[in-house]
Structure 1
Amino acid sequence: MQWLATATAVAGVVALASLVQPAGAVPTASAATSAGSRPTPAATAPDARAAHYPLDCGPNPVQVTDKVSGDLDGDGGPETVAVVRCKAEMGTPPSGVYVLAAPSVKGAAPRVVATLVDPADKMSVQGLALSGRAVSATLLGYSATDVPRCCPDVRKGAKWQWQDGKFVQSEHSAAEGDLPASQGI
């Protein structure tokens, strides 16, 4: 009987403490933000496997083949760049490269905020890398429709950087590899 009285008293104190706030208390970051204010950036990078990509794969699943994460736009929150394609039993389907941001609603899927390579361009992507805030990759493709789909004959390097509110692409020789961040694009 004595333990029941003690448990009831402790529960009452805890309940009362949750209702009383000290003078001068300020709301925490989890409180609703005022209209027009910017939400606090997410501490973890968006999960590439949880996003919904603008791909029509029919009965085949979407496959994330590579990803890198970092603060690409300088807002203090990480973004994820994902190389995605439709999974196929044979052949190499074209890839898409997408930039993901944290969801705007807690518990929702990450948002696709930019397309760096569209699968409609019929390119495959290799060697995705992040250097500072620049993303680079090697793009493989075909010079003509009669080139066998097994053997891409076009190879070019591409680099993307956030400038003036969008991702700007530049090309460099695929043999160059990644350009140092200090070089111009």
Structure 2
Amino acid sequence: MDAMSDVFGTLDAVPAADRPDLLAAPVRAAIHLIPEALVAAIDPAYADTENLCAHYGVPMDASANAVIVRGTRAGVDSHACCMTLAHRRVDVNNVVRRRLNARKASFAPMDFAVEATGMEYGGINPVGLPAGWPIWVDGAVADRDWVCIGSGVRHSKLFIPVAGLLALPGVERVDDLARDVG
């Protein structure tokens, strides 16, 4: 098995451009930036990462989650998207807060994240995010060949080459952005 096929588990992935019905509108508009992207339909009941991995056999260390973080300084908010592998947690209080030059940083409220991205909760990803938002990719993600990420909706998942992710506008590799859980 090659590195790419290891990420699919039992899912059948097809070129994302061929299945726009499986992508949220902002993802659909930006998917051309990663032409190798693949998408697979899933049961939305298994959209959360742990359930997805257990049900479909997608490896946890090939599953990357995106979180939207809000930093605040002097009443002004700034936002960033942070990508980490499913078994790691973003260091919001230290690394992210400093990078945002914020006095306080926290996960953005779900309602804000959904409205600002145009994506469903549990499907938010860096493809098609608002212009100007930094996208920080943890070194553990950047070292993978391919990852499984949200598609903007809960009824599918994207499989993308990490080289394509790192080439998106506003993306920066940030080593030690996240820590292992446990």
Shorter-chain TM-score range: under 0.3
Higher relative CO (Cα under 8 Å, sequence separation at least 6) belongs to 2
- Structure (1 or 2) with the greater helix fraction: 2
**Which of the two has higher C-alpha Rg?**
1
Scaled by the length of structure 2, the TM-score of the pair is 0.24
Scaled by the length of structure 1, the TM-score of the pair is 0.24
